[in-house]
Amino acid sequence: MSVLKLNYDPPFNITRLSHVNLTSRDLDVTRHFYEKGLGLEVTAHEKNYLSFRSLEETSHHSLVFEKKETKNPGICKSVGYRVYKDEDLKIAFDYFNEIGYQAEFIERPHQGLTLCLKDSVGSCIEFCSSMPQKKSHMQNFHKHSGGKLAFLDHVQIITHDVPKAYEFYNEIGFRLAEYTAKDKTDEMWGVWLKRKNNTQDVVFSNGSGPQLHHFAFHTPEVSNVIHAADVMASLNLANSMDRPPGRHGIGNAFFIYFRDPDGHRVELFTSHYNVIDINQKPKRWDLSDTRRSQLWGFPAPKKWFYEATQFENSSIKKPSLNAKPVTLEDFLKTW
């Protein structure tokens, strides 16, 4: 599949990634990891519900956990997007149901009207237009701690069919900023799709899916990413680091990844760039070009590519594209 013509007039107006709904086996343990370790603010902690926001966010939550009694790892209940108005949700309801998706309105705590469905590759998604508002903590510098996280920026979802996901999101106005394709072909391995001003709100990468690979919070300084690692170490949480700091070629992100107590992968990063003008062409990367994943440093370990969070009530399908990324284990054989 080659690059699609962007739908400049989508049926309704999505503004950005909004929030992620996950499960936790122990909300107190989850709270310790995100509040004391990474520095998020707890905005609600109820018997079976825990929510967080980061420093620049004025909405009630960007990260939500529902308690689930199980011995299994956590699951993803949904990935949430924001639209401008409730009217957009009504248009979205008609749009999705007319083209064969089962979209329905649901109740979610601490947010307005919410539309829920499964996308073309089986990921659970929801849309809402409003949440209770509070003042941000951007200039409450005495409250900045951990990774000093500013806002939820993007999610990455592993899918068995990247082109199918790309078509679905292109039709509702997501724009391709960067992509990875199998060498010398147009077979897409990954697509970086955006609504807001920077490189991505959602990434789809090739693999057994749908699975949530990670969600990512932006912080304004490289030193904040490193400080988060120091804080995690001082809390004896350093072993939760899933991939050490480095810089992605794609998106230019200086990153670090952790796995939370339920196995959910969270990225802290800085230095994405603006993609705004519509004549700016998507940037292509060959799959074998390891600079796409790290401009410097070692490749990610195999588990980073293949372990992820399952979506609720979704069966996992094997990928249609057989293209393997270069892993740390592969790299060390030649080093």
Least distance from Fe ion to the Cβ atom of residue 80, Å: 17
The residue sitting closest to Fe ion, measured at its beta carbon, is 216
Least distance from Fe ion to the Cβ atom of residue 281, Å: 22
Near Fe ion by CB under 5 A: residue from 227, 267, 287, 290: 267
Of 216 and 323, nearer to Fe ion (C-beta) is 216
Near Fe ion by CB under 5 A: residue from 216, 229, 232, 237: 216
Of 10 and 325, nearer to Fe ion (C-beta) is 325
Contacts with Fe ion in 126-145 (CB under 5 A)? Answer: none
Q: Does 177 bind Fe ion (CB under 5 A)?
A: no
Q: Which listed range, 14-22, 115-123, 186-194, 213-221, lies at the site for Fe ion (CB under 5 A)?
A: 213-221
- Residue 323 vs residues 138, 176, 326: alpha-carbon distances, Å: 42, 21, 10
Least distance from Fe ion to the Cβ atom of residue 192, Å: 9
Least distance from Fe ion to the Cβ atom of residue 15, Å: 19
Least distance from Fe ion to the Cβ atom of residue 203, Å: 6
Distance CA 286, CA 174 (A): 22
Least distance from Fe ion to the Cβ atom of residue 16, Å: 15
Least distance from Fe ion to the Cβ atom of residue 45, Å: 27
Distance CA 147, CA 137 (A): 14
Size of the site for Fe ion (CB under 5 A): 2
Q: Which listed range, 66-74, 113-121, 189-197, 264-272, lies at the site for Fe ion (CB under 5 A)?
A: 264-272
Q: Which listed range, 28-36, 84-92, 183-191, 211-219, lies at the site for Fe ion (CB under 5 A)?
A: 211-219
Distance CA 58, CA 82 (A): 13
Of 162 and 216, nearer to Fe ion (C-beta) is 216
Of 127 and 254, nearer to Fe ion (C-beta) is 254
Q: Which residues bind Fe ion (CB under 5 A)?
A: 216, 267
